[in-house]
A and B are shown apart, each in its own frame.
Chain A
Amino acid sequence: MNEYLENAKAQMRKGVLEYCILSVLSEGDAYVSDIIRRLKEAQMIVVEGTLYPLLMRQKNAGWLAYRWEESTQGPPRKYYAITDAGRQLLAELDTAWQDLGDSVIKIRQPEKTHSHEKRI
């Protein structure tokens, strides 16, 4: 039961992780560590490692890009930015997320919606 729950939660997070990465980057360019901090704060990820293949995949798809930034301590670091194609995708994902949320709410709270309609 518990195992199943964990798995289900992981699957749910996995589905929207790419959406979240694009969202974080849409607010401004960021280092990987910044993205990780934001996602951890929001409890979107448990372990960081999963992020790197995703970033690479999104970069290859052309939704985001990176440049090398010199660092005061240590070697240069990757600085990620969202591309125009990424913004377009993000807008569509926003709509999709909205629709999905609405759908779930519609299913979860049928009486509320009904009563709402009746009230009108």
Chain B
Amino acid sequence: MKNVFNICINGIIFGIEEDAFKPLSDYLEPLKAYFSREKDGSEIVADIEARIAELFTERPGGAATAITIADVNAIISTLGTPAAIAGVDESANTEAQPCAPRRTARRLFRNPAERYISGVCGGIATWFGMSPAILRIALIVATFFIHWLPILYLVLWAVIPLAKTTAQKLEMYGKEVNITNIEQSVKDNSLDTGSPVQTFFRDVDSALGRFCRILLRIVVLVIGLKLIVAGLMLLVAFIVWTCLQDVLFRDVVKWDFLAYEEMLRHIISASSYQIFMICSVVFILLTVAACLFWGAQLIRPFKTGNRMTHILLAALWAGSAMGIVGISLREMRHFTNPNSMSETFTVPVTDTLHLQTVSANMKLSNNAVTGLYFDKSQQRFFGEPTLNICHSRNGQALLEIRRRALGRSKPDAFDKLAGIGYQVAINDTLLQLPDLFSVSPPDRWSFQEVHLFLYLPENTIVAMDEGVMAHMHSNAHSRTGQQEYLWRVTDKGPRKIK
């Protein structure tokens, strides 16, 4: 009883006995390797294979009986040995120099038989005729001193081709590409096992290999661990964001907290908001799952479910990411055009000007980062104006109220500007400034801003209460219990009076 392989020659399937397979493959491989150098070489090989298939079919018993080693030998004697077939081409060469084994110049290839990473070192070592181990050690040591060597390595990796065909491998070793060499190398497999190195270097090689593998293993473990930690942290953040933020922050944060997703609802349209939140949740959860999965997989590989599920989940992840980006881009169009508007009021020139806050006196939610206020019961937005005190050069006292807003277009932005509600009252030397401005529509935020510029002549003293101080566009905030703060306007801007 013998094992039988199935092989396909010229489109016909034959059964071939186990021990006949290698002789047949040893017969065809050199021919393929030899003719692969020629323009129509593959077609010549195809012709020969077609003939082999024909002869196998014509055997007594035809294609149905398994090919034996005798059949293969019969084929070889009918068609001729590779040397005989190629001999037609090579007769001229061999006659000119019948016995001298010609050595052609070596060509530089990456050596697939001598590779740890890409065969660059193996290839260069083969080219120089030295041991790859020495070159590798030299490279690793040199990397400590010359830091760009790894980049050079990558460039060489890209530039030097890999020796794929038998002919290229022979050229790599500087052997002449003729049918005898090809046949020889196919038979003893010498091109695929690498050049024989001395035992010392072989030991160094394998020790180095072990070291590299251990190093690689450690790197992989660290990456896996980091992925798992990242996944867990993301998961905790997600849980806090979705379920626990009210519970956790109610006591910690003094003001009522306006969360981002709540804010988002008032910035983008309602339908977009729903899809955006779903995409975000899916994206974050899948990212968490992917981090944990790959982290665990790197630390300790395990068997995974079917491929289809993976592809589906990856597609879902990519889809949710695209959803987030898509909605962001779509919604961003509403805020592409800024517009601004200025109003100027005359302020009486006086020695001392009093600034007073008019407080809206509402319980408001605040977003600490954007300085945005929200009245949850009325569903209204409020913004904080800023105050700048400037030196007036022409001796006049002026209050400029500058409003800014973003919109789909300039006119749209202008509508938003008109919707800003902010009124100042000037009563002789008392300026009453509301601490917040309202927007319209009240539950939509379009990044409205109000900036107050107070131009005063030199040496005017400004007295302001604590509320106004908080809005000063200055970092000189101090809350030391004083009721009023006195500032003097100088040519370099306002200065605090001690």
Interface size bracket, B side: 20 to 34
> Which 5 pairs across A and B sit closest by C-beta, in order of nearness?
A47-B80, A49-B85, A49-B80, A49-B79, A75-B11
* Per-residue B-contact encoding for A42-76, CB less than 8 Å = 1, 0 else: 00001111101111100010000000000001110
Could you say which residues of chain B place their CB within 8 Å of the CB of A74?
10-12, 53-54, 57
What's the minimum C-beta distance from A76 to chain B, rounded to whole angstroms?
A: 9
- Which residues does A use to contact B, with CB under 8 Å? 11, 14, 32-33, 46-50, 52-56, 60, 73-75, 77-78
A49 touches B84 (CB 8 A): yes
Q: Is B274 an interface residue (CB 8 A)?
A: no
* Per-residue A-contact encoding for B29-47, CB less than 8 Å = 1, 0 else: 0000001000110011001
Q: Which of A33, A50, A52 contacts B54 (CB 8 A)?
A: A33
Report the bound CA distance from A55 to B35 in whole Å: 14
Chain A residue at smallest Cβ distance from B45: A52
B88 touches A55 (CB 8 A): no
Chain A residue at smallest Cβ distance from B80: A47
Q: Which of A33, A46, A53 contacts B88 (CB 8 A)?
A: A53
Interface residues of chain B: helix, strand, loop or mixed (majority):
helix
What's the minimum C-beta distance from A118 to chain B, rounded to whole angstroms?
A: 42
Given the interface contacts A52-B48, A75-B11, does A47 sit within 8 Å of B57 by beta carbon? no
Report the bound CA distance from A56 to B77 in whole Å: 22
Given the interface contacts A14-B91, A53-B88, does A47 sit within 8 Å of B78 by beta carbon? yes
Q: Which of A32, A50, A53 contacts B51 (CB 8 A)?
A: A32
Residues in B66-97 with C-beta less than 8 Å from chain A: 77-82, 84-89, 91
B54 touches A47 (CB 8 A): no
- Which residues does B use to contact A, with CB under 8 Å? 10-12, 35, 39-40, 43-44, 47-48, 50-51, 53-54, 57, 77-82, 84-89, 91
Q: Which of B44, B81, B82, B87 contacts A56 (CB 8 A)?
A: B44
Could you say which residues of chain B place their CB within 8 Å of the CB of A32?
47, 50-51
Could you say which residues of chain A place their CB within 8 Å of the CB of B80?
46-50
B10 touches A75 (CB 8 A): yes
Chain A residue at smallest Cβ distance from B84: A47
Q: Which of B48, B51, B57 contacts A73 (CB 8 A)?
A: B57
What's the minimum C-beta distance from B298 to chain A, rounded to whole angstroms?
A: 49
Chain A residue at smallest Cβ distance from B82: A49
Could you say which residues of chain B place their CB within 8 Å of the CB of A48?
51, 78-80
With contacts A53-B86, A74-B53, A75-B53 known, what are 19 further pairs, Cβ within 8 A? A11-B91, A14-B88, A32-B50, A33-B54, A47-B79, A47-B85, A49-B80, A49-B85, A50-B84, A52-B47, A52-B48, A53-B89, A56-B44, A56-B47, A74-B10, A74-B57, A77-B50, A77-B54, A78-B47
Can you give 9 contacting A-B residue pairs, CB < 8 Å?
A33-B54, A46-B80, A47-B84, A49-B80, A52-B48, A53-B85, A56-B43, A56-B47, A60-B39
Report the bound CA distance from A11 to B88 in whole Å: 9
Could you say which residues of chain A place their CB within 8 Å of the CB of B86?
53
What's the minimum C-beta distance from B42 to chain A, rounded to whole angstroms?
A: 11
